[in-house]
Amino acid sequence: MDKSVFLEDLDAFAYREALASGEAIVLIPVGSLEQHGPHLPLGTDTILSSHFAEGVARRLGALVAQPIAYGYKSQQKSGGGNHLSGTVSLDGATLVGVARNLVKSFLKQGVRHVVFINGHFENYQFLYEGIDLALDELGIEPGAEQSVLLLSYWDFVSQDTLMQVYPDGFPGWDIEHGGVLETSLMLHLEPARVAMDRLIDGPAAVLPRFDRLPVVPERTPATGCLSSAAGSSTAKGGLLYGQVVGDLAADLAGELIREPALAVVPA
């Protein structure tokens, strides 16, 4: 059996051995508990970020920490809105605090690099703030040995992949909620957790250029999805996952791994 990359499977002595190398990299998946229409589970963002972290960790020899399984409030223009039941969210200050606590704990224990792998659009700036506050409190300045990286996995999808996944034109990452990207990835990675027979096709959401609070609920399509998942396939999911994990692992290896011998091992 393959050695697990998940911290939850490691014993404390094996973890300390990894720390003692001085080269430990810990990836933290970040997601949400959020409605994703009738065909995808509420945990989709967390499930997908965890799979990306696992794939990258295997190639880099990194470890994957417990995910942050709740996210910042779903916004109408990127996740349908926080008013929809099934969506359970954190205040910004709470997510900032969680990120800050995790960075402080891992870096103080001797982890060299922490990498947040984000899978929920609304989280990004709160994670950034938590990281910044933690580094400030730890007195970690530019040029230090230790660092923290933050990324959203969809930013690694290449133009070439995009054209193959969306032959009729790409709707935009913000309204890719419950759409072809997430559905195809879930079909590839977790087929038993997708109900394609429940998928409802329809036009993409038409949303104003401003945010209005409180939201006008009718602006979110009844499905809860902002673009249609029709056209999703296992093959598209496999293409997306393989390309993103490959590029992500290569970028992180180039940025974080000192010893070329340790760099990217084939999956």
In angstroms, the first-to-last Cα distance of the chain is 15
Give the Cα separation of 176 and 77 in Å (integer): 10
Residue (34 or 54) nearer to Mn ion, CB: 34
> What does the block give as tokens for 45?
């963002």
User: Which three-class secondary structure state does DSSP give residue 102?
Assistant: helix
- Backbone angles phi and psi of 110, in degrees to 5: 105, 10
The verdict on 43 binding Mn ion (CB under 5 A) reads: no
| Subset of 45-74 contacting Mn ion (CB under 5 A) | 45
- Is 113 one of the annotated active-site residues of the chain? no
Give the Cα separation of 141 and 28 in Å (integer): 22
- Using the rule CB under 5 A, give the single segment among 48-56, 75-83, 94-102, 132-140 that binds Mn ion: 75-83
Q: Minimum distance from CB of 176 to Zn ion (Å)?
A: 8
Residue of minimal CB distance from Mn ion? 120
Q: Minimum distance from CB of 122 to Zn ion (Å)?
A: 10
Convert residues 43-82 into a mask of x (bound to Zn ion by CB under 5 A) and - (unbound): -xx-------------------------------------
Per partner kind, with CB cut-offs from 5 to 8 A, the member of Zn ion, Mn ion, none near residue 152 is none
> Which residues fall within 8 angstroms of residue 190, CB to CB, at 6 or more apart?
47, 51
Contacting residue, 37, 67, 79, 179, with Mn ion by CB under 5 A: 79
- Is 51 one of the annotated active-site residues of the chain? no
- Is 36 one of the annotated active-site residues of the chain? yes
The catalytically annotated residue of 39, 51, 113, 122 is: 122
Convert residues 18-37 into a mask of x (bound to Mn ion by CB under 5 A) and - (unbound): --------------x-x---
User: In terms of Cα–Cα distance, which of 213, 239, 197 is closest to 37?
Assistant: 197
Question: Measured on CA atoms in the order 241, 246, 250, 253, is the torsion positive or negative?
Answer: positive
Q: Minimum distance from CB of 251 to Mn ion (Å)?
A: 23
DSSP H or E segment with residue 116: strand 113-118
DSSP H or E segment with residue 53: helix 44-60
> What does the block give as tokens for 111?
């982890």
Strand order across the beta sheet in which 25-30 lies: 63-64, 25-30, 113-118, 147-152
Convert residues 142-171 into a mask of x (bound to Mn ion by CB under 5 A) and - (unbound): ------------------------------
Residue of minimal CB distance from Zn ion? 45
- Is 174 one of the annotated active-site residues of the chain? no
Contact set with Zn ion (CB under 5 A): 44-45
User: Which residues contact Mn ion by CB under 5 A?
Assistant: 32, 34, 45, 79, 120
**What positions carry a catalytic annotation?**
34, 36, 45, 120, 122, 177, 182
